Structure 1
Amino acid sequence: MRVAIAGAGAVGRSVATELIENGHHVLLIDKSPGSIRSDAVPGAQWLLADACEMSSLEEARLDTCDVMISATGDDKANLVISLLAKTEFAVPRTVGRVNHPSNEWLFGESWGVDVAVSTPRLMAALVEEAVAVGDLVRLFTFRQSDTNLVELTMPDHSPLVGTRIADVPWPPDALLVAILRDTSILTPDRDRALESGDELLFVTASDAEAALASLLAPKG
């Protein structure tokens, strides 16, 4: 897979390193000469250019990329880059970094963003996930499909403790994808029984979240 990353700061370089280690081809683009540090990510291609300019993206051969990641520290730039990548170069997947939470609502289909990554929101979700038992915590939003990755830790009082997964009347738009139990990641096999303290991961529609929370951890 060929991936272009706009923004060769600490975030862009870290993402590039991970992708290269996983066998992908990465191009880092930055308009600041001081950010072009080929020794920092030796396996990447580098381009000194402004990724907000059409000519720069043409030079980067963006039309041959599978993914465009906008990882600059400027939300306006990340939106412009995502929009150009999607509308002018038909890049199949765009990922936009959200620097300021107040701008998160902009990072959607209208600006060509397939996946928005908001570090403040993600950190807050991880804090909630670590301390909340019996509360549904939204970890990630898939904007194109209006679905979310959510987590709920089974409380002791849940009526479904000891119930086989196949016997649970799950909401139709909620899919159990994994169970975290102690230090293990378990598949949601039909005959597996739910236990107190299980961390359940779901992909679910937004309007099914309340029914899911009520089913697994009813209040009162």
Structure 2
Amino acid sequence: MRVIIMGCGRVGAELATELDEAGHEVVVIDRDPAAFARLPEQFGGRTVTGLGFDREVLVDAGLHGADAFAAVSSGDNSNIIAARVARETYGVERVIARIYDAGRAEVYERLGIPTVATVPWATGRLIRYITSGSSPVVWRDQTGEVSLVAVVPPPVWVGTTLASLAGSVGGTAVALTRFGECRVPDGGTLAQAEDLIHLAVPSAVVDDLDDIVKRGPADD
């Protein structure tokens, strides 16, 4: 798949590197050419110097027909403008923006643009959102029996309890991140679109996790 990344800071460089190593076609945009030094020497993607919300720059980067666009520069306004241009003008299906202000994140999520905040799981969530197939495991205990996984609920689970979602894979919901804020959910917490849910699950189910979750709630 072809992925356009705006911003070559720490998150942008890590994201570009992981996607490139996974065999995807990656183009990185940054207004400062020195920023590309964060990319490894073996980086096989392309770099474009310019403002990531400039349409000529986006065309040069190959946004037409791109599979995904990630706006992860250091500016909230630049990120959301670029994300909206990618979504509304070029029709890119998977668009995500990094937002520093958690208060703004809620507004942008309501516009239909998923966001990530400046938290440790930012790169991981970006990878999972863009590729929809990367491993969800973020931690595993020393015995290998229990894994902590991060999942974004498919539409079929929206409006159902996190307890039901966790129970479908024999696990427990231990944390919920919504609009950049993390908390411990209770038994009645309902899943919303673009939530990031951390589940403690038996490691034996990890390989089949995506397939199980996509089936949705079991019929009564």
- TM band (smaller chain): 0.5 to 0.7
TM-score (normalised: structure 1): 0.57
Question: What one-letter code is carried by the residue in structure 2 that aligns with 1:83?
Answer: R
1:61 to partner: Cα distance:
2.2
Provide the residue aligned with 1:180 in structure 2.
201
CA distance in 1, matches of 2:48, 2:59: 12
Inter-CA distance 154–27: structure 2 relative to 1 (3 Å threshold): closer
1:203 to partner: Cα distance:
7.5
Provide the residue aligned with 2:65 in structure 1.
64
CA distance in 2, matches of 1:19, 1:29: 15
TM-score (normalised: structure 2): 0.57
Say which SS state the counterpart of residue 34 (structure 2) adopts.
helix
Q: Which string of whole-angstrom CA distances, capped at 9 and with x for unpartnered residues, describes residues 1-33 of structure 1? A: 000000011111101111111110000000012
1:146 to partner: Cα distance:
8.3
Sequence identity (%): 22
Contact 2:52 2:58 in 1 (8 A): yes
Runs of 5+ consecutive residues of structure 1 not aligned to the other structure: 124-128, 131-138, 156-172, 190-200, 209-220
1:44 to partner: Cα distance:
1.4
CA distance in 2, matches of 1:61, 1:28: 11
Say which SS state the counterpart of residue 73 (structure 2) adopts.
coil
How many residue pairs match? The answer is 160
- Answer yes or no: is 1:147 the counterpart of 2:168: no
CA distance in 1, matches of 2:75, 2:151: 22
Inter-CA distance 90–142: structure 2 relative to 1 (3 Å threshold): farther
CA distance in 1, matches of 2:25, 2:17: 10
Contact 1:8 1:36 in 2 (8 A): yes
Question: Aligned ranges for residues 38-77 of structure 1 at < 5 Å?
Answer: 40=40, 42-77=43-78
CA distance in 2, matches of 1:102, 1:146: 25
Inter-CA distance 67–119: structure 2 relative to 1 (3 Å threshold): same
1:70 to partner: Cα distance:
0.7
CA distance in 1, matches of 2:106, 2:2: 28
Larger-gyration structure (1/2): 1
Q: Which string of whole-angstrom CA distances, capped at 9 and with x for unpartnered residues, describes residues 77-115 of structure 1? A: 1110110001111112101112222221122252x51x3
Provide the residue aligned with 1:19 in structure 2.
19
Runs of 5+ consecutive residues of structure 2 not aligned to the other structure: 123-138, 141-149, 174-190, 192-198
CA distance in 2, matches of 1:154, 1:51: 40
1:75 to partner: Cα distance:
1.3
Provide the residue aligned with 1:37 in structure 2.
37
Task: Point out the more displaced range, 20-29 or 56-65.
Answer: 56-65
Q: Which string of whole-angstrom CA distances, capped at 9 and with x for unpartnered residues, describes residues 158-207 of structure 1? A: xxxxxxxxxxxxxxx9xxxx9722x4335789xxxxxxxxxxx96799xx
Question: Aligned ranges for residues 1-220 of structure 1 at < 5 Å?
Answer: 1-37=1-37, 40=40, 42-108=43-109, 110=111, 113=113, 115-120=114-119, 147=158, 151=166, 180-181=201-202, 183-185=203-205
CA distance in 1, matches of 2:26, 2:40: 13
Inter-CA distance 75–154: structure 2 relative to 1 (3 Å threshold): closer
Inter-CA distance 51–144: structure 2 relative to 1 (3 Å threshold): farther
Inter-CA distance 188–23: structure 2 relative to 1 (3 Å threshold): closer
CA distance in 2, matches of 1:40, 1:121: 21
